[in-house]
Amino acid sequence: MFDGLSKKLGDVLGRLRGRGALNEADVDAALREVRLALLEADVALPVVKQFIDGVRPKAVGAEVIRSVSPGQMVVKIVHDHLVEMLGGEASELNLNAVPPVVVLMVGLQGSGKTTTTAKIARRLTLGPQGMAADAFGGSFKERKKVLMASLDVTRPAAQEQLRILGEQAGVATLPIVPFEQPLGITRRALDEGRRGGYDVIMLDTAGRLAIDEQLMAEVAAVRDASKPTETLLVADAMTGQDAVNTARAFNEKVGITGIVLTRVDGDARGGAALSMRTVTGRPIKLLGAGEKIDALEQFHPDRIATRILGMGDIVSLVERAAETIEKEDAEKLAAKVRKGQFDLDDLLQQLRQLRKMGGLQGLMGMLPGAAQAKAAMQKANLDEKVIKRQEAIIQSMTPKERRNPDIIHASRKKRIASGAGAQVQEINKLLKQHAEMVKMMKRVNKMGEKGFMRSLGN
């Protein structure tokens, strides 16, 4: 589905690969082309804007980690933002309710609703049998007893179609009663579901060629009568923005819990997949990738993002480099801590890390033997504003002062304070905190980590 978009983005970002340093103009030029590529892929305009606005500040001035080129860094930033836009984590079917759990299938006619109903039912019936270990999430790990019912009384052959699919898939269908209306069928399905000890009831509602009030009213009535745990909208990826508008309308009128995007095996430009989450706030849960009954895939945002960019190798390269560097930095710091050489430059580096990670749970937490510094920082109650201020203070010091805080007497303090726009008291406080940290680190080194934690009362 993403072939065209993937090629375009590959070209744009590929050109960035060799650059030495990435400035605002480079990023802007690249993002202009990313923007065009997204628009050409039929991604909704507000979604494109939101995407670019999100990537830009992350890319401009991004710290380019060692052993990676700035272009590669941008690829990683665009990739991560794509993943976020696609919903972050894979979203599983929710079947957590007292059985029989109702799954309501909604969507326009021809979207693939009936086929998808049978695909999901079959997958649930089979359980883990015959599927790749990580192809599906937890919701498909157990075998389920599934009953399908077609509520489509407008298209004469619809109920028969589901019955035949059920037979092929080895899934039970509710016997057809001629002229019965959707609400009647719903009630009978619920009764049969309870009586027959079914785990899941799948209700395949009627579609229309376009959204109309009558359809929405009918689906809403079925929803009220059946209290579904999942209401899945089935949408055709080939219809691009129309699919997104359909999803929005169904979500507003009926309320949906997830989306199944069908025909991703075709040459759809991918815009629907990219816009769905942002526009509806609902996750894409599954993909229909063919007419065959087993052509159903779980939607993995990270895998899709990688497919769109076509640069999985670079993304994992940057990830590996980042891990290595974090480990190296952590080891270097740990060595300094052990020797009692934790100076103000190290503190500055830690403050920056803290701020980047938005909390105390990052690097410090990973350091064996540096739990003490973390404890001291926690005690100092560092929030983002405080951290920024402390960074500014350290940056106003000379390299010599950072290495030997002992030489910072009254006149130096005044100079640092005016340089950082701070009070001398704040300089004192920071120096005191640093001195306390160093003292604690030395204490730990003497008594070992366990003894230190005991001394803190933990």
Binding residues for GTP: 107-114, 204-208, 262-265
Nearer to ligand GDP, 154 or 361 (CB): 154
Among 72, 91, 111, 280, binds ligand GDP (CB under 6 A): 111
**Gap between the Cα atoms of 68 and 249, Å rounded:** 44
Q: Report in angstroms how near the CB of residue 179 gets to ligand GDP at its nearest.
A: 21
The answer to whether the beta carbons of residues 116 and 168 sit under 8 Å apart is no
Annotated binding site: 107-114, 204-208, 262-265
Residues 36, 4, 283: CA angle, nearest 5 degrees: 80
**CA atoms within 13 A of residue 288's CA, in its CB half-sphere:** 26
The answer to whether the beta carbons of residues 297 and 271 sit under 8 Å apart is no
**Interface positions, 410-439, toward ligand GDP (CB under 6 A):** none
Site for ligand GDP contains 125 (CB under 6 A): no
Nearest to 5 by CA among 318, 268, 298: 268
Closest residue to ligand GDP, based on beta-carbon distance? 288
**Gap between the Cα atoms of 397 and 417, Å rounded:** 9
Q: In the stretch 168-207, what mask flags binding to ligand GDP with x, by CB under 6 A? A: ---------------------------------------x
User: What dihedral do alpha carbons 425, 428, 429, 430 form, nearest 10°?
Assistant: 120
Nearer to ligand GDP, 116 or 251 (CB): 116
Q: In the stretch 277-316, what mask flags binding to ligand GDP with x, by CB under 6 A? A: -----------xxxx---x---------------------
**Interface positions, 66-105, toward ligand GDP (CB under 6 A):** none
Nearer to ligand GDP, 112 or 182 (CB): 112
Stretch that binds ligand GDP, among 63-71, 77-85, 112-120, 271-279 (CB under 6 A): 112-120
The answer to whether the beta carbons of residues 268 and 240 sit under 8 Å apart is yes
Q: Report in angstroms how near the CB of residue 166 gets to ligand GDP at its nearest.
A: 13
Nearer to ligand GDP, 149 or 289 (CB): 289
Among 115, 186, 226, 298, binds ligand GDP (CB under 6 A): 115
Among 114, 246, 306, 372, binds ligand GDP (CB under 6 A): 114
Nearer to ligand GDP, 270 or 369 (CB): 270
Among 3, 242, 265, 302, binds ligand GDP (CB under 6 A): 265
What is the chain's alpha carbon radius of gyration, rounded to the nearest angstrom? 29
Q: Report in angstroms how near the CB of residue 150 gets to ligand GDP at its nearest.
A: 9
Nearer to ligand GDP, 65 or 211 (CB): 211
Among 18, 46, 110, 281, binds ligand GDP (CB under 6 A): 110
Residues 106, 291, 257: CA angle, nearest 5 degrees: 25
Alpha carbon distances (Å) from 146 to 103, 162, 174, 201, 421: 10, 13, 11, 6, 68
- % helix / strand / coil in the chain, to the nearest 5? 60, 10, 30
Site for ligand GDP contains 242 (CB under 6 A): no
Q: In b/e form, how buried is each residue of 305-332, taking b as 16+ CB within 10 angstroms?
A: bbbbbbbeebbebbeebbeeeeeebbee
Nearer to ligand GDP, 287 or 363 (CB): 287
**Gap between the Cα atoms of 265 and 369, Å rounded:** 52
First to last CA, the chain: 55
Q: Report in angstroms how near the CB of residue 158 gets to ligand GDP at its nearest.
A: 7
Got the DSSP string for 210-235?
A: S--HHHHHHHHHHHHHH--SEEEEEE
Binding residues for ligand GDP, how many (CB under 6 A)? 18
Stretch that binds ligand GDP, among 113-121, 214-222, 313-321, 421-429 (CB under 6 A): 113-121
Q: Report in angstroms how near the CB of residue 123 gets to ligand GDP at its nearest.
A: 14
Site for ligand GDP contains 109 (CB under 6 A): yes
Among 76, 113, 223, 300, binds ligand GDP (CB under 6 A): 113
Site for ligand GDP contains 262 (CB under 6 A): yes
Nearest to 283 by CA among 231, 241, 238, 217: 231
Consecutive H or E run containing 184: helix 182-195
Residue with tokens 């990826």: 237
Q: Report in angstroms how near the CB of residue 376 gets to ligand GDP at its nearest.
A: 57
Site for ligand GDP contains 40 (CB under 6 A): no
Tokens coding 151: 């509520």
User: Helix, strand, or coil here: 106?
Assistant: strand
Nearer to ligand GDP, 269 or 413 (CB): 269
Residues near ligand GDP (CB under 6 A): 107, 109-115, 207, 262-263, 265-266, 288-291, 295
